[in-house]
Every structure is written in structure tokens, then in C-alpha cells.
């Protein structure tokens, strides 16, 4: 799984960013969200983890800020690694196509709360919670402490 993710990340850096002014893409526009979620659920089940769905779009500044916190704040990244399998779900609408509309509908239309939005699934794919991320913000960024409280609240029992 990590090798596939590395290959996908390498591929995404070789292609032009969808919104160059926003920097590197954080959502793979060609990704099949349902296939990614199915794979994540299998990993979560075997590793006693939860699945964290991160719905957003490459144009969304707050989506970039959240991704930065999730991946670059050591305590947050470690909590994710220990307890979750993360799936980034691109929900952009571009050129008349609403990406991953079926996935949005399947998980209760979480984007009604804005972007980014998080959905926690148990290893069987059941929705445990939907979290709008405004509550996790502090100033012009997301609070690592608030994110950790959220992650700890929904982490699997060990």
C-alpha cells in the first residue's frame, strides 16, 4: 500500500498541478475514491485501525492547510499512522463533472458542511462521525491539539 501511494505521489509530481497557484495537488484527480476506500477498509480491518476520509479539493486553501497539519505536524502524523488509514477524496466539480459524487452521497453528503470535511469509518465501513473542520481551526491554520483530541476520540479501542 505504501509503495502504491509513493508511486501515485511520484506520478502526481510529474504532472502539472490542477491549480498551480495552490502548489502541489493534495487530491489525485484521477483517483477512484471507492476503490481507495475499499483498500483502506481492508488495511484498517487487518491492522485494527479506523479509516479517515478527508473530503476536499485542490483549489481549497483550508484543504491545503489541513493536509499540511496532518502530514507535517509530528504528533498529528504519528497519531494518524498509529490509528487511521487516510483516504483523500477529491470532490471538485470541474468541466461539468462532479468528482466522486457517488462517494459523497454514500457517506451522507458530508460536503454540505463545507471543505475540508472529515468522516471516520470503522473497519467495517460504518460511519462513526462526520466532522466539519472549522471547529479544528485556530487562527489561520488547523490546531494540532484540536486535531489530536478529535483523532483520539474516534481511535479504535486497543
Contact 120, 52 (CB under 8 A): yes
The pTM is what?
A: 0.88
Q: How far apart are CA 121 and CA 59, in angstroms?
A: 25
Does the structure show a pLDDT above 90 at 114?
Answer: yes
State the average pLDDT over residues 3-25. 68
CATH code of the domain occupying 2-60+84-133: 3.40.30.10
Q: How far apart are CA 125 and CA 94, in angstroms?
A: 28
User: What are the cell numbers at 118?
Assistant: 472529515
Q: Pick from 157, 146, 82: which is nearest to 118 by CA?
A: 146
Domain borders along the chain are 2-60+84-133
Burial of residue 156 (number of CB atoms within 10 Å: 0-12, 13-18, 19+): middle
Residue pLDDT, tens place only, 55-108: 999 999 999 999 999 999 999 999 999 999 999 999 998 777 888 999 999 999
133 Cβ contact list (under 8 Å, min separation 6): 62, 66, 114, 116, 117, 118, 142
Q: How far apart are CA 134 and CA 121, in angstroms?
A: 20
Amino acid at each position: 500500500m505504501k509503495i502504491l501511494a509513493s508511486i501515485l505521489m511520484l506520478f502526481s509530481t510529474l504532472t502539472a498541478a490542477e491549480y498551480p497557484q495552490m502548489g502541489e495537488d493534495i487530491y489525485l484527480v484521477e483517483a477512484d475514491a471507492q476503490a481507495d476506500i475499499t483498500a483502506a477498509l481492508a488495511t484498517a480491518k487487518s491492522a485494527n485501525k479506523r479509516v479517515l476520509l478527508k473530503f476536499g479539493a485542490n483549489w481549497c486553501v483550508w484543504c491545503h492547510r489541513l493536509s499540511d497539519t496532518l502530514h507535517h505536524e509530528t504528533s498529528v502524523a504519528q497519531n494518524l499512522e498509529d490509528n487511521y488509514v487516510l483516504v483523500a477524496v477529491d470532490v471538485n466539480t470541474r468541466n461539468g463533472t462532479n468528482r466522486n459524487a457517488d462517494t459523497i452521497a454514500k457517506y451522507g453528503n458530508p460536503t454540505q458542511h463545507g471543505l475540508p470535511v472529515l468522516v471516520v469509518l470503522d473497519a467495517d465501513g460504518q460511519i462513526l462521525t462526520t466532522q466539519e473542520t472549522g471547529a479544528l481551526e485556530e487562527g489561520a491554520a488547523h490546531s494540532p491539539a484540536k486535531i489530536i483530541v478529535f483523532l483520539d476520540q474516534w481511535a479504535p479501542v486497543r
